[in-house]
Amino acid sequence: MNFNKKRSLFLSAFLAFTILISLVGHRAAFATDNETYKNLKLFNEVLNMVEKNYVEEVDPKVVIHGAINGMIKSLDPHSAFMTAEQYNDLKIDTKGTFSGLGIVITMQNDMITVVAPIEDKPAFIAGVKAGDGIIKIDGETTKDLTIMDAVHRLRGKRGTKVTITIVREDEDDPIDFDIVRDIIEIKSVKHRTYYEDIGYIRISNFQETTADELDKALKEINTEDAPLKGLVLDLRNNPGGLLGQSIKVSDMFLKSGVIVSSKGRAKDSEYIYTARDDGYEPKCPVIILINGGTASAAEIVSGALHDNKRAILLGNQSFGKGSVQTIVPLKDGSALKLTIAKYYTPAGESIQARGIVPDIVVEYIKPVTTGKDEPIRIREKDLKGHIKGEKEEEKDGEAGKEMEDLKKDNQLKNAIDLLRSWDTFKEI
């Protein structure tokens, strides 16, 4: 096939793509607008000039994909055009298993930015933090990369190394991290109890299995024989994920009321999701931990439980991603990820670029490590053969681990202390 035929073919594809956009967001009037036709004529003129005059022969597919990327990139940080390979990467994400670094990224101020590192994964262990800006991947600038380009470069075979260069707000110079890729198999829900009657559930992201994992966790720690006195739902550094899962999770705590609503230009982007009484919602008080890494679907859950007076929010202001994206598969295997609506909390608030402010603001305090020059203090319990204290056996076991956890996490400790004193405040 000669270049002219290829160009005609891809120009037709481009026109079809333009019509697709009109269908999902811009209405049919977009396609008949004189200004649009004028600009398409300009596009064809430039393409023709490239064909005839560029110093080397170009691949029409690369040119067209570049033009589409530029168009979508001009809209907002979350809309993206994905090649077939990138679209497959996205589908793998929601399954909960892939090979990479274990970070969630977004575009902020024209920079690839870390929303949150996933706990206990390579990037987290290496020291990458929420808010870090990635300026290089393996020594190459990320300036002109799309989100999907960056994701594709960061991923790779297990055991291979990638170097990312980041800029951090409190650091003068860029920092290099050499990170070895690993299989990122995300179990999105972890749980345990404190003081035997305070439940703790950590949701790290919202993937296909999250609601089922949460259901199992609740049944394990909240039984008829040993009901919980309170529950901490930890959504800190949760970058979000599947909207449907966030709705199911919210519904597990609510008997009625609006969970979230969405509104866009197209009628089919408008939804109102409501809770239903399933008969087994937890009855205990709930405190949700949030911070600057709490985003998207995690903010939906936070807003739903807060506005329905079902939970108190504690921690720091959330990330502020209040937009809804839809995925439109295209004929050649590629796909369009397009922002089609904003979502609103039950109180009718849009958190887009604002975030959610917690009821109780508690700044996270980094644990203080023991300095090298600090003297080592020996206590009675450290002496070999000492007589055991009455509750020492308990403290050396699970309860001892609980105390260590709470010493390292002041936000969690504040939440648990509040739940333990809940009944006392109710009586007052």
The two tokens of residue 381 are 């319990």
Which residue of the set 79, 204, 296, 302 is catalytic? 296
Residue type, 180: V
Say whether 396 is catalytic. no
Whether 296 is catalytic = yes
- Assign 3-state DSSP to the chain and report helix, strand, coil percentages, each to 5: 35, 25, 40
Q: In the numeric block, which tokens belong to residue 7?
A: 């160009």
Catalytic residue among 73, 121, 248, 321: 321
Q: Which of 93, 132, 251, 307 is catalytic?
A: 307
In eight-state DSSP terms, residue 26 is: I
- Helices vs strands, H then E, count in the chain: 14, 19
Structure-token pair, residue 323: 């937009």
Cα 401 to Cα 3: distance, rounded to the nearest angstrom: 68
Q: Does residue 395 have an active-site annotation?
A: no
Half-sphere exposure of 119 (CA within 13 A, CB side): 14
Helix (H) or strand (E) holding 54: none
Alpha-carbon separation of residue 100 from 97, 158, 294 (angstroms): 10, 7, 21
| Contact present, 320 and 352 (Cβ < 8 Å) | yes
Asked if residue 349 lies in contact with residue 357, where contact means CB atoms within 8 angstroms, the answer is: no
> The tokens of 111 are what?
């920079």
DSSP-H helix ranges across 308-391: none
Cite the active site residues.
Answer: 296, 307, 321
